[in-house]
Amino acid sequence: MFLSRQDVIDNFRKQKYICGPEISTVVYLSEQMQKPVLVEGPAGVGKTSLAGVWAEAAGLELIRMQCYEGLDEGKALYEWEYAKQLLYTQILKEKINEVISDCRGLREAVDRINRHEDIFFSKEFILPRPLLRAILSDKKVVLLIDEVDKADPEFEAFLLEVLSDFQVSVPELGTLRAKHVPNVVLTSNNSREMSDALKRRCLHLFIDFPPSEQEMEIVRLKVPDIDEKLARQVVDVIQKVRKIDLKKLPSISETLDWARALTILNADSLDQDLLKSTLNLFLKYEGDIKKVRANLHTLITTGEGKMN
């Protein structure tokens, strides 16, 4: 458990994740209050990686559940290992025959086997899915519920119960309570609005694209070999491009991919030709590329690019 907000910042930085006071405060309070964190913001700003970094920094296992349309309670919680049950049935065939050997009819045999069905519907034959794994874990874990906005509202309602009490009901086994309340991170790309009820149960965190200086710090940390002047130009261009009306704005990971690519090309600064030939590294739609090409003169004003 982190000792303070600064402790969060320091330990996240060791994992090469730059976080400001808002993120560190929410993470620290989440651990202290045992409340989930709902992280919203545009794609590619580090929402998903927050959970992984949290797990690494705290020395905890990360359990991830990817949400999608059609995800239901059964797929998120558990399933029975029918193959294993069948195998045990074959192995114990003689014992089963002994149990029903003196039965006088089919009904009596079925009733007698029913009295022993809890043997085959016990924890030995259950295959836990991410939610149940997090609840049954012998150690505290970080549970990532990724892109919860893609799940149906019905599944969101089910999550409310789990996140409130950290317990689930399995008809054959009864109520299973968490041995250790997990650190929970839910991410949303805002494809649909989350319910007020879910927001009430969570600490809310909005992560936006980082300001220039913070993005510069991320580039220096993740691409240590990059020329200082080139790094500054990369960040300046990305910040200007994000102000253009595009279908998809460049994410932080695309900033880093572009910076690494320019380093591989042995560039030490940007000019319009180099920028024009590498636009596809951070723009993913042809319409966006055409729109940015029309604004190249506004993105770079000084410097000459070099590459081998």
pTM comes to 0.81
| pLDDT tens digits, 81-137 | 888 778 877 787 777 777 777 877 888 877 777 776 677 777 788 888 999 999 989
Higher pLDDT pick, 306 / 258: 258
Question: Span 25-40, mean pLDDT?
Answer: 96
**pLDDT surpasses 60 at 290:** yes
pLDDT band at 301 (very low <50, low <70, confident <90, very high): low
Mean pLDDT of the chain: 89
Q: What does the alpha-carbon distance between residue 218 and residue 71 come to, in Å, rounded to a whole number?
A: 35
The per-residue pLDDT for 1 is 86
The per-residue pLDDT for 112 is 76
Q: What does the alpha-carbon distance between residue 96 and residue 75 come to, in Å, rounded to a whole number?
A: 31
| pLDDT tens digits, 146-187 | 999 999 988 998 898 888 888 888 888 888 899 899 999 999
Question: Span 65-71, mean pLDDT?
Answer: 93
**pLDDT surpasses 90 at 43:** no
Q: Could you write out the three-class secondary structure of 65-134?
A: EECCCCCCHHHHHEEECHHHHHHHHHHCHHHHHHHHCCCCCHHHHHHHHHCCHHHCCCHHHEEECHHHHH
Which runs of E-coded beta strand occur in 148-285? 167-170, 174-177, 183-188, 203-206
| Positive/negative CA dihedral, 268, 273, 275, 280 | negative
Share of the chain above pLDDT 70, in %: 97
The residues that bridge with 126 in the sheet, in sequence order, are 80
